[in-house]
Amino acid sequence: MPVGLYGGAIVVEETTVLRSWAILVSFILSCTLGEAAQADPNDRARELEFRRDREAWMRSERSPLALAGLFWLKAGTNSFGTDPSNDLILPPGSAPGRIGRLILSGGKVELVVDNHAAHLRLGNQWIQHGVLKTDVGEVLPDTVYVGDLRLKVIQRGSQFALRLIHVKNPPLLAFSHLDFFEIDPAYKVIGTFLPYRPPRRIKIASVTGQVEEMDCPGTVHFNLGGRDLILEPILESVDAKELFFIFKDSTNGIETYAGGRFLYSPLPQGDRVVLDFNQAHNPYCAYSPYSTCPLPPLSNWLKIPVRAGEKKYPRQ
């Protein structure tokens, strides 16, 4: 599940009144927040399972280490193949020299295969021509198979790109492990959810320089390390089952990935939200330059160290 939007941070505008209200709420909540989530003897087993699952995912073809290219499409015809004369040049030896064309027109990407010997498949069907679904909306993007390559069209704002996945990509084959901080129950805390009425849309920048507005249902107030803190989650879809946090802390660039980390939590139960920073993890951009990860909004820059969850990838 790619993740990869994401430089520069976007400053979310706030009025003086809103700032004062947030400070007051934080003060009031400080009397009740910050409790650790009730200790559960199964917690450690769940944390270890999370880490095993993440490492298994890193070894799969869905891993960011499998990303081998990201080609932004120009309007009109984009030829592709391994020959250097193509507009989109695939890794040497990975495919025929000339395969076909991707035609961007009217907000759609049409695939035309010129070299039928390239044997392109869309799912289980051979394909010679068709319009490819992108990763925008409620449907999965089409995956075109060419030998050990997987081709997908992604959309970021009004721009389209070809994402290249290589199941024998050297970084993927060389993967051994991820590094994590020690599991610490103190980093699993209960927060209080204060909804925005109505919900807001906040600006999220990406490493590509693009900015997207995403739905933010409210704020989560919590205490960590004796500090009263606030995070703004976003919802990744209209029917999202989790809150998605993109955050920075003072370990970034030293012990953890410089661009921040991700954290998911279950939707609020009443006004209670469980934040388990032991499951904080890196975005795609921590592993690959061919990603489009989101950057943390300024409101989610925590001025404390969060020594929990995933550390820098070893080869950073």
Q: What is the mean pLDDT of residues 152-173?
A: 94
- All domains of the chain in start order, with CATH: 16-59+177-300 (no CATH), 66-173 (2.60.200.20)
Nearest to 191 by CA among 235, 239, 245: 245
Which pLDDT belongs to residue 138? 64
- Could you give the CA distance from residue 312 to residue 180 in angstroms, rounded to a whole number? 8
pLDDT at residue 23 is higher than 70: no
Greater model confidence, 202 or 10? 202
Q: What DSSP assignment string belongs to 170-220?
A: HHHHT-----BPPP-GGGEEEEEEEEEEEEEEEEEEBTTS-EEEEEEEEEE
CB of 216 closer than 8 Å to CB of 21:
no
pLDDT at residue 189 is higher than 80: yes
Which pLDDT belongs to residue 63? 96
Which pLDDT belongs to residue 41? 74
Which pLDDT belongs to residue 38? 61
Give the list of residues 6+ apart from residue 110 with CB closer than 8 angstroms, or none.
102, 103, 129, 130, 131, 132
Q: Which residue has the tokens 């399972």?
A: 49
Which pLDDT belongs to residue 203? 94
CB of 206 closer than 8 Å to CB of 61:
no
The rounded mean pLDDT for the chain is 87
Which pLDDT belongs to residue 153? 96
- Could you give the CA distance from residue 57 to residue 19 in angstroms, rounded to a whole number? 41
Range from 30-34, 68-72, 208-212 that averages highest in pLDDT = 68-72
Q: What is the mean pLDDT of residues 77-90?
A: 96
Can you give the pTM of this predicted structure? Answer: 0.82
Q: What confidence tier does 123 reach under pLDDT thresholds 50, 70, 90?
A: confident
Percentage with pLDDT > 70 across the chain: 87
pLDDT at residue 22 is higher than 60: no
Percentage with pLDDT > 90 across the chain: 77
Which pLDDT belongs to residue 44? 92
Which pLDDT belongs to residue 2? 35
Nearest to 47 by CA among 187, 244, 169, 152: 187
CB of 206 closer than 8 Å to CB of 214:
no
Which pLDDT belongs to residue 230? 98
